[in-house]
Amino acid sequence: MKILVAVKRVVDFNVKVRVKPDGTGVETANVKMSMNPFDEIAVEEAVRLKEAGAAIEIIAVSCGPAACQETLRTALAIGADRAILVESSEELQPLAVSKILKSVVEREKPNLVILGKQAIDDDCNQTGQMLAALLGWAQATFASKVKLSPEKAEVTREVDGGLETDSVKLPAVITTDLRLNEPRYVTLPNIMKAKKKALETLKPDALGVDVSPRLQTLKVTEPPKRKAGAKVPDAKTLVEKLRNEAKVL
């Protein structure tokens, strides 16, 4: 069985995000970048499945600028066997990424695609679902546990009422939740080994994919600062404030 894992390069989750002065987007110059945490969980799960004997090869795929090679090298250090970078300087929106991944899937013919449920930079939570729709494959989202067999995957996911277990026929697309696993620490020997693993670079045109943005971002602003609290002498005054200022009653 072959597993394909999609990874994205995002602003590190420990970095305080700053909006550009002109409001055109988020500042990324001289900012620490890393692999999207949900995608790191996806890579870890693929490696665990391979270690358990359920898979024989893991392919990591990323879309974006040349700097995404660093993210792919991290995936290779975790345990992926080879990597593919679809290099583009365009702003890649979820639909474009889904189309790119669809072309890569058709090219590589994996049995399973695993990716994070969302990216922490845009929180779209769309790529996995779009990819499954484009491929016509089964999908299981927000996985907190995955059990793989030759013909199907059993995926446990958290829902409002508790836990739900779904059985999907392979090939399938699975998106990962935070509770699925805890990614391993990448050791220096594995980082050195990753440098020798194959990393192929493609262009969207070579895959026959149009990545032109369908949406235009008009302006990006920081959320308004929270107003300071106020003390009231009694419950009657609080109710009056709620009625007149908060307008909730």
Task: Domain ranges for the chain, please list them.
Answer: 2-224
Write down the pLDDT at residue 247.
56
Run of H or E including 48: helix 37-51
Write down the pLDDT at residue 203.
93
| Mean model confidence pLDDT for the chain | 91
Tens of pLDDT along 65-108?
999 999 999 999 999 999 999 999 888 999 999 999 999 999 99
Write down the pLDDT at residue 246.
61
Residue 133: count other Cβ atoms within 10 Å of its Cβ: 13
Taking the C-alpha atoms of residue 109 and residue 61, their distance in angstroms, rounded to an integer, is: 13
CATH topology of domain 2-224: Rossmann fold (3.40.50)
* 18-55 as b/e: b if 16+ CB within 10 A: eeeeeeeeeebeeeeebbbbbbbbbbbbbbbbbeeebb
pLDDT band at 224 (very low <50, low <70, confident <90, very high): confident
How many residues are present in the chain? 249
Confidence check: pLDDT of 248 > 70: no
Confidence check: pLDDT of 52 > 80: yes
List the one residue out of 115, 12, 97 whose CA is nearest residue 58.
115
Write down the pLDDT at residue 249.
46
Contacts of 129 (CB under 8 A, 6+ apart): 139, 141, 175
Q: What are phi and psi of 13, to 5 degrees?
A: -65, -15
Tens of pLDDT along 104-129?
999 999 999 999 999 998 889 999 99
Write down the pLDDT at residue 102.
96
Tens of pLDDT along 124-155?
999 999 999 999 999 999 999 999 988 999 99
Q: Check residues 42 and 248 and name the one with the higher pLDDT.
A: 42
